[in-house]
């Protein structure tokens, strides 16, 4: 899917919301998703009018709890991008609004808050697109509300959702249940967990591991990536001993790991997010099963990337973590626009991004801004442009390569990498090629 990228966009500020509502759709030109839903039909030529509008784009992230640092840096990265491009998307002027989908009580994303935010997006007449969410479970609540927006549907592009079901067949009824109008309004710029879990099993096999005990946090993302790893295990010569859930509210997991120990695994795979008491889980894994560079290796997906407190834990050292993209340090090594952007972030803010996904948030915003540039500034037109085959070219791409989304909403290029926790840092080990 080609078409050049021009320039764009914006400025920023913050808040959260609550309220109501819903309904409408459209139709399009690229090939339709396999499940029968449609992409949207471009309005007019897709070109921006001579006189632009002032429109709002937003982020929708967990600003409290364990993901707070990663989310704060995602917003900083977006603000840096908007500053660099002069606060314009073609003829349109952009304002940036931050929504918090977490609560202090939960210490993570919250279902009621995600729902309230989605309604607030719809009610804000000036808002045309959302960058988010960070957590797949939150996206599954918000996408249908945005899809039924009476003046939309409204576009959402995620930098971090990896659960497959939002864009393709996964759990029963998915993905159709997220698109009541039959029109796709959601995209993402990273690979999904069917790829990530499979890659995790392939990586474990490369390490010579044979018997893996899988644990999941019982949430949408965790169950999905754990299932993908468990399903791919046998094809890679790995015996999957069990796929059990962990209770995030438990004070410790010594009893759980005593049970795991009795099965004589040589690997534990944690399908879930660090927010769900993951640091205690890692501590107790080492307490009962020994260090991660010992007889029982510890592997985890990208739900454990980007957490400074986890990185600083002695028990986390030697832990392997996959990431559904290219780590920031590798973007710097590759040079080009992506490397320059990461370097500018470090210089402007005096620290490296807390999470690899923080930089991906700015990349997702690049695609949103490109869609706005190629629109008349209304929600239907922005959505149509996003699904029209436009791509951010490699020489202007934060990801270092040309990217866009396909008719189903999935990214047109897929990356995967493996990292190891060493010296209180996530150190890049190797890229991982992905099949179709």
Check pLDDT > 90 for residue 164. yes
Tens of pLDDT along 171-193?
Answer: 999 999 999 999 999 999 999 99
pLDDT at 51: 79
Average pLDDT over residues 376-400: 97
Average pLDDT over residues 139-154: 97
**Number of C-beta neighbours around residue 411 at 10 A:** 25
Give the three-state DSSP class for 160.
Answer: coil
Check pLDDT > 60 for residue 36. no
Residues 51-64 as b/e (b if ≥16 CB within 10 A, e otherwise) read ebbebbbbbbbbbb
pLDDT at 391: 98
Do 193-323 and 11-192+331-396 fall under one CATH topology? yes
Q: Which fold has domain 193-323?
A: Rossmann fold (3.40.50)
Average pLDDT over residues 127-147: 97
Q: Where are the beta strands (DSSP E) in 51-91?
A: 54-61, 88-89
How far apart are the C-alpha atoms of 238 and 218, rounded to whole Å? 23
Give the angle 298-300-306 at the CA atoms, nearest 5°: 120
Structure token digits, residue 436:
């179709």
Whole-model pTM: value is: 0.84
Tens of pLDDT along 337-383?
Answer: 999 999 999 999 999 999 999 999 999 999 999 999 999 999 999 99
Average pLDDT over residues 46-50: 46
Check pLDDT > 90 for residue 248. yes
For 65, 99, 223, 321, the CA distances from 307, given in Å and listed in that order, are 11, 21, 20, 12
pLDDT at 435: 61
Specify burial of residue 74 (Cβ count, 10 A radius: 0-12, 13-18, 19+).
buried
Mean pLDDT, rounded, of the chain:
90
Query: To the nearest whole percent, how much of the chain has pLDDT over 70?
Result: 88
How far apart are the C-alpha atoms of 161 and 158, rounded to whole Å? 6
pLDDT at 331: 96
Q: Which fold has domain 11-192+331-396?
A: Rossmann fold (3.40.50)
- Among 208, 355, 197, 327, residue whose Cα is nearest residue 272: 197
How far apart are the C-alpha atoms of 391 and 393, rounded to whole Å? 6
For 29, 178, 337, 377, 410, the CA distances from 172, given in Å and listed in that order, are 28, 12, 41, 36, 19
Specify burial of residue 350 (Cβ count, 10 A radius: 0-12, 13-18, 19+).
exposed
pLDDT at 14: 30
**Number of C-beta neighbours around residue 77 at 10 A:** 29
Query: To the nearest whole percent, how much of the chain has pLDDT over 90?
Result: 87
pLDDT at 38: 54
Q: For the chain, how big is the Rg over CA atoms in Å?
A: 21
List CB contacts of 109: < 8 A, sequence separation 6 or more: 62, 67, 101, 102, 133, 134, 135, 137, 138, 275
pLDDT at 197: 96
152 close to 51: Cβ distance less than 8 angstroms:
no
Check pLDDT > 60 for residue 42. no
Q: Say if residue 390 is preceded by a cis peptide, omega within 30 of 0.
A: no
Check pLDDT > 90 for residue 433. no
pLDDT at 18: 30
Check pLDDT > 70 for residue 34. no
pLDDT at 300: 98
Q: How many angstroms from the chain centroid is the CA of residue 338?
A: 18
What is the greatest pairwise CA distance in the chain?
70
pLDDT at 35: 52
Q: Where are the domains of the chain?
A: 11-192+331-396, 193-323
DSSP string, 316-345: GTT-EEEESS--HHHHHHH-HHHHHHHHHH
Confidence class of residue 303 from pLDDT cuts 50, 70 and 90?
very high
pLDDT at 434: 84
How far apart are the C-alpha atoms of 97 and 356, rounded to whole Å? 22
pLDDT at 118: 98
Tens of pLDDT along 74-93?
Answer: 999 999 999 999 999 999 99
pLDDT at 228: 96
């Amino acid at each position: 899917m080609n078409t050049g990228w021009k320039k764009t966009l914006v400025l920023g500020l913050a808040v959260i919301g609550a309220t109501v509502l819903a309904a409408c759709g459209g139709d399009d030109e690229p090939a339709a998703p396999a499940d029968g839903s449609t992409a949207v039909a471009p309005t007019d030529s897709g070109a921006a009018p001579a006189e632009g509008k002032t429109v709002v784009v937003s982020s929708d992230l967990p600003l409290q709890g364990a993901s707070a640092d990663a989310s704060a840096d995602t917003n900083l990265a977006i603000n840096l991008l908007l500053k660099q491009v002069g606060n314009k998307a073609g003829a349109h002027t952009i304002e940036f609004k931050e929504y918090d989908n977490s609560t202090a009580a939960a210490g993570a994303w919250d279902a009621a808050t995600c729902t309230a935010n989605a309604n607030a997006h719809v009610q804000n007449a000036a808002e045309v697109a959302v960058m988010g969410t960070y957590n797949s479970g939150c996206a599954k609540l918000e996408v249908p509300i945005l899809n039924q927006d009476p003046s939309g549907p409204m576009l959402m592009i995620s930098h971090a959702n990896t659960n497959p079901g939002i864009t393709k067949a996964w759990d029963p009824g998915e993905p159709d249940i997220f698109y009541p109008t039959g029109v796709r309004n959601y995209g993402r710029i990273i690979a999904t967990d069917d790829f990530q879990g499979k890659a995790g099993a392939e990586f474990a096999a490369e390490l010579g591991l044979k018997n893996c005990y899988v644990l999941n946090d019982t949430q949408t993302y965790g169950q999905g990536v754990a299932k993908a790893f468990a399903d791919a295990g046998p094809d890679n010569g790995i015996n999957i001993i069990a796929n059990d859930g962990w209770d995030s509210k438990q004070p410790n997991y010594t009893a759980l790991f005593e049970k795991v120990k009795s099965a004589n695994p040589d690997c534990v795979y944690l399908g879930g997010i660090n927010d769900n008491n993951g640091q205690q889980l890692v501590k107790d894994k080492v307490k009962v099963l020994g260090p991660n560079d010992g007889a029982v290796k510890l592997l985890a997906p990208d739900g454990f990337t980007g957490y400074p407190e986890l990185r600083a834990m002695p028990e986390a050292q030697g832990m392997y973590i996959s990431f559904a993209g290219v780590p920031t340090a590798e973007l710097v090594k590759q040079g080009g626009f992506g490397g320059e952007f990461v370097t500018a972030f470090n210089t402007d803010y005096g620290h490296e991004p807390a999470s690899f996904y923080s930089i991906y948030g700015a990349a997702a915003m690049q695609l949103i801004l490109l869609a706005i540039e190629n629109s008349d500034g209304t929600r239907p037109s922005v959505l149509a442009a996003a699904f029209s085959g436009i791509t951010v070219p490699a020489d202007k791409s934060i990801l270092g390569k040309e990217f866009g989304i396909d008719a189903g909403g999935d990214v047109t290029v897929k990356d995967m990498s493996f990292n190891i926790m060493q010296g209180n840092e996530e150190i890049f080990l190797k890229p991982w090629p992905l099949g179709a």
